[in-house]
Amino acid sequence: MSSDTNVIVGNNFHPQTLSKMEKKFRLHHLWKLDEASRKECVDSLSGRCHLAVTASWSCDEEIYNLKSLRLISAFGVGVDGINFDRTQAQGVRVSNTPDVLNDAVAELAIGLMVASTREIIAADQFARTNKWLQGPFRLGSSLKGKTLGILGLGSIGQSVAKRITPFGVSIAYHNRSQSNSQYQYCPTIIELAEISDVLLCLLPGGANTNQLVNGAVFDALGPNGIFINLGRGNSVEENDLINAVTKKKIKLACLDVYENEPHISGALRSLENVILLPHIGSATVETRTKMGDLVIRNIEAFLENEQLVSEVFA
């Protein structure tokens, strides 16, 4: 692959991947430039650059001003950071990095289910503060016999279900339409929450999922219910979640994504019955390497006039 091939880089999405790309392509890092310099860079590349790479959850709007742009190879699965109105109008193709992160996200989901039902985080603090001297820690709950409700049963949800069923956990799910699945289908989110002991949200971002998980859902989940969000922060009405946790309408919440990340509200940070993670769903060395390799493979397929490995059709 020619090192003369120009590629615009929208943000510092994965330094190791960018280091690999430096050996294959001529990179132009918009994220290192001020606003005026970004515009100059894009203007200077018009007609000479057809490729851009970016995080899937955030894309510099200046990229769309490159008139010769033909492909955005995005790092990540959820492409809510991509402006598909612009890409479609300009004939720009988009790719993402699905499937290679299923294992990592599923592992985290299982870990949070175990940590929350057995109250591992609270137990750690109990031991560290010497409260054990005053008596034993409260009893947790077993996963066996529980029902996991999966909101958004895609490839990641299937990976979670495959891993958790040996624990003796039943699976139910809600999608916009019933899929060819062995698991119990619930026509509404409320019905799913009502039968779930743990409600796992794996919804993608975007207008179609905005604040679908609200106070009514938490009321249906109930005071013994656990809510886990590994999808996108915008799918949850955050004030309703804070209210549900504060008033113990649900037992516990585990969050890896937030409406305005990396900013986490002070109310969430002050609550003891909330486990907060800094969006680490796919954050393993192995997974991020595979995601970066797929970003590069999509670019190489485009340059060789081959079918993209993972094109996104909005």
Res. 75: pLDDT tops 60: yes
pLDDT reported for residue 19: 97
pLDDT reported for residue 78: 87
* pLDDT mean across residues, the chain: 96
Residue type, 84: F
pLDDT reported for residue 201: 98
- 41-50 tens-digit pLDDT: 999 999 999 9
CA 175, 176, 179, 185 dihedral sign is positive
The whole-number average pLDDT for the span 247-261 is 96
pLDDT band at 247; cut points 50, 70, 90:
very high
Active-site pick, 279, 297, 300, 311: 279
The domain defined by 6-98+285-312 folds into Rossmann fold (3.40.50)
Quick check: is 279 catalytic? yes
* The listed CATH number (1.10.340.30, 3.40.50.720, 3.40.50.300, 3.20.10.10) that belongs to domain 102-276: 3.40.50.720
Count of CB atoms situated within 10 Å of the CB of 135: 7
Quick check: is 261 catalytic? yes
The pTM (predicted TM-score) of the whole model is: 0.92
Question: Which residue's entry shows tokens 């950071």?
Answer: 81
- 176-223 tens-digit pLDDT: 989 888 999 999 999 999 999 999 999 998 888 999 999 999 999 999
Cβ-proximal residues to 238 (8 Å cutoff; 6+ apart), any chain: 258, 259, 265, 268
- 293-302 tens-digit pLDDT: 999 999 999 9
Paired residues of 199 in beta bridges: 149, 227
Quick check: is 86 catalytic? no
Question: What is the 8-class DSSP label of residue 130?
Answer: T
Active-site pick, 191, 261, 300, 311: 261
Question: Which residue's entry shows tokens 């409700």?
Answer: 149
- The CATH 3.40.50.720 portion of the chain extends over 6-98+285-312, 102-276
Cβ-proximal residues to 133 (8 Å cutoff; 6+ apart), any chain: none
Outline where DSSP puts E strands in the chain: 6-9, 26-29, 49-55, 71-75, 93-95, 147-151, 170-174, 184-185, 198-201, 226-229, 252-255, 274-276, 311-312
Angle between helices 15-22 and 285-303 (to 10 degrees): 40
Active-site pick, 174, 232, 237, 288: 232
- Tell me the longest C-alpha to C-alpha distance in the chain: 73
Angle between helices 102-117 and 120-128 (to 10 degrees): 60
CB burial string 151-167: b at 16+ within 10 A, e below: bbbbebbbbbbebbeeb
Question: Which residue's entry shows tokens 């959850």?
Answer: 57
pLDDT reported for residue 89: 96
In degrees rounded to 5, what are phi and psi of residue 186? -115, 125
- 112-142 tens-digit pLDDT: 999 999 999 999 999 999 999 999 999 999 9
